Every structure is written in structure tokens, then in C-alpha cells.
Amino acid sequence: MPVDDPHDPAAPTTRKQVFPCGQCGSSLEFKPGSDSMRCPHCGHTQALPGGAGGVISEHDFHEGIARARRQPSAALVEGGHNVQCEGCGAQTVVAGQAARCPFCGSPVVMAIQELGEIFTPESLLPFKLDARAAKDRYQKWVGGLWFAPNDLKTLANQHGMDGVYMPYWSYDSNTTTRYTGERGEYYYVSETYRDSKGETQTRQVRHTRWYPTSGTVHVSFDDVLVCGSQTLPRKLLEGLEPWDLPELRAFDAGYLSGFVAERYKIGLEEGFVAAEARMVPKIRSAVESDIGGDDQRIGNLNIHHADVRFKHLLLPLWISSFRYKEKAYRFTVNARSGQVSGERPWSVVKIVLAVLAVIAVIVTIAVLVQKYKQ
């Protein structure tokens, strides 16, 4: 049975599950890449409380809004309470003390009232990479950055990494799109012109004839992901994709032992609006293919969604933040694939020196060319 951790350093935007070791009583931690929990003190391992099995459920979107399982956010963690980070404003549920925020580095949090009932996550991807492997990936990423400040790697390495489960919505939809547009077909006309020597030349100039068109395309989508967090920028999270969603496991609190999990702030309906936006490029591509011809213009899209289904799941990442010249920077590592996505400061001095070096090379080449002509 999970218990409170009175020394929990978890982010104030998170909740944390703690399980006691059956041999020494210390807190167990999920062992990345396995289906068991391990005690960092005595080395004892235990199976997950619910095993590694279970059914991964998908819900009808419209029925799920009314019928999917919900409960008070504090009930997700025994002894949980709601807090808010005064640095970035993120809200969450924690057990024990919230000491700092890994998302912005703020050390100050304050207690707030119950946030209301939330959807319960029913599946997740367990951590596959441990903290050491994640840090190795990050160090390689930092080493490959151009125009980074000289002390960036040292500064970033002074801060630890936190294992965080981020809340996601996954949507399926069968779309039917009626469209209007124009199909462009190329044709060529011969034109004459005078070249730099004054001689007459002939060339083929391309033109386009446009014809009105309309039609219907059907595109199906499976597992379109939308992060339910507003703590990290969307660009940063999308940089971690793709995720190996076929490896999803049914939710078991044991997977959270030693890690923290953020409470979502983007709800089911709001998330589907974002999912629709992610679907549009693929629909437009299908419409352009259906229009055919050499070029295409899309006038109007009337998109209809049918058999919309969703899952609420947790995806694992390693995250760290540091401050450089009073600004917070964050980097993340996909705890499954090792893909790194991060924010970075730029060295103005290095950029200026590089620009001056390029100018110097251009001037040198121009001088040499001028001397050669003379």
C-alpha cells in the first residue's frame, strides 16, 4: 500500500506515490526497463502491486465526458494535497512537502483548495531509461550546441534530473472532409529575350491553368497525442516524439514509485480541439492528393468527426531546469527513446565573433578577386 513520503522533494506541479520495502521499510523505486520495484538501500526487489497486466481502455468521446471514471485529485495520492508553484503558476497534487519546482526552479509553493474531480489515468508507458542514461543523452546534446555559453554544460550539470510522468490525451477519429478548391495544370509558352551579350535567346516559361474542383476524402487517425500540461511549451514536448504507444501498459501505481506525475490542466474537450488542429495537415495533404493536377488550391474544408475515442495516459520523461542570467531554461529527455528536447541560451559574444569572421573571409575573397582581375 502506498504511503506518504515526508521528505518528498517532488515538484509542486506533481503527485508522488511511495511504496515501503518489504525487507527494510525504505521507499521502493520503480526500476526503469523492468516490471519491478527496487529498494535503493538494501537492493531488495518486489513485483508491482497489481502486476504488469491489465486492460488498456479506450472510451467513446461523448460518453466519456459524462461517464468516464473521475475522483478528487487529492484522492490519487494517499495524504495528497493541492499546491501551486508561485514561480510558474502550475497546480498539482503532492504527498508530503513540495520543496521546489523542476519546471522553473522556484523554491516557493503555497497550498490551495481542492481542484475538483479529474479523469483517472488508465494506461502509461513505464520508464525505460534511468537517470544516468538520460543525463548521458543530455550531455551529448549540450556538447553539440553551436554558440552556447562556455559555462552552459557546467551550470546545467549542477542540477539534478527529475523523473516525471506527464499527462496526455490520446484521440482516435474517422474523419470525412468535403472540400472545394482548384486544380492547377501547367503549360509552357516560348518567349524570346536578350542575354547579357545582347544576343536573342528563347526560353520556355511555365504558366498555370486553374480549374474549379470539389470532392470528399476520408482519413482515419489513431492515437493523436495532446499533452494535458501547460507547464512545458508544446514545442518542447513535441520535440520528444514519437512515443512507442504500442507498448502502453495498464495503469499501476507501482510504476510511479520513485517518480512524480503531473495533474492535467488541459481537459478532455479542450484537448480534442488541439488534436483537431494536429489532424488538419494530414487532411489537407489528402485533399491535395485527391485534387490532383500539377498544383492545388484549397478553398474550403468541412471536416466531420465520427467514432471519436480517447484514452487518458501518462508518458515518462526526465526533466531538469536551470537559471542563466535570471532566465529559466528547461531540457527534457524521452525516458523511452532517449530523444532530447530543450531550451538553451545563446552566447552573443560567440555569435558576433562568428559574424565578424564571416565578414573577414568575404572581404579577403573580394580583395583577392580584385587583385586577380588587375
Buried b (16+ CB within 10 A) or exposed e, 124-163: bbbbbbbbebbbebbeebbeeeeebbeebeebbeeeebbb
As a whole number, mean pLDDT of residues 330-338 equals: 90
Task: Give the pLDDT confidence of 262-307 residue by residue, as tens digits.
Answer: 878 898 999 999 999 999 999 999 999 999 999 999 999 999 999 9
Q: Which of 79, 116, 112 is nearest to 94 (CA)?
A: 79
Q: Which of 12, 20, 16 is nearest to 77 (CA)?
A: 16
Task: Give the pLDDT confidence of 43-94 residue by residue, as tens digits.
Answer: 667 666 655 556 787 888 888 777 655 555 555 555 555 566 666 665 555 5
Q: Cell numbers for 45, please give them.
A: 526487489
The residue ranges of every structural domain in the chain are: 14-178+215-343, 182-214
pTM of this structure: 0.74
Q: Which pLDDT belongs to residue 12?
A: 35
Neighbours of 28 (CB within 10 A): 25
For residue 230, pLDDT over 50 is answered with yes
Does the CA dihedral 347-342-16-120 come out positive or negative?
A: positive
For residue 353, pLDDT over 90 is answered with no
Is the backbone peptide bond immediately before 242 cis, with ω within 30 degrees of 0? Answer: yes
pLDDT-above-90 percentage for the chain:
34
Average pLDDT score over the chain: 77
Task: Give the pLDDT confidence of 87-110 residue by residue, as tens digits.
Answer: 666 555 554 455 556 566 565 555
Neighbours of 73 (CB within 10 A): 21
Geometric angle at alpha carbon 282, from 276 and 286, rounded to 5°: 125
Q: Which of 165, 167, 169, 131 is nearest to 257 (CA)?
A: 165
For residue 197, pLDDT over 60 is answered with yes
**284 Rama sector, left if φ>0, alpha if ψ -120 to 50, beta otherwise:** alpha
Which DSSP helix (H) or strand (E) runs through 267? none
CA–CA gap between residue 15 and residue 17 (Å, rounded):
7
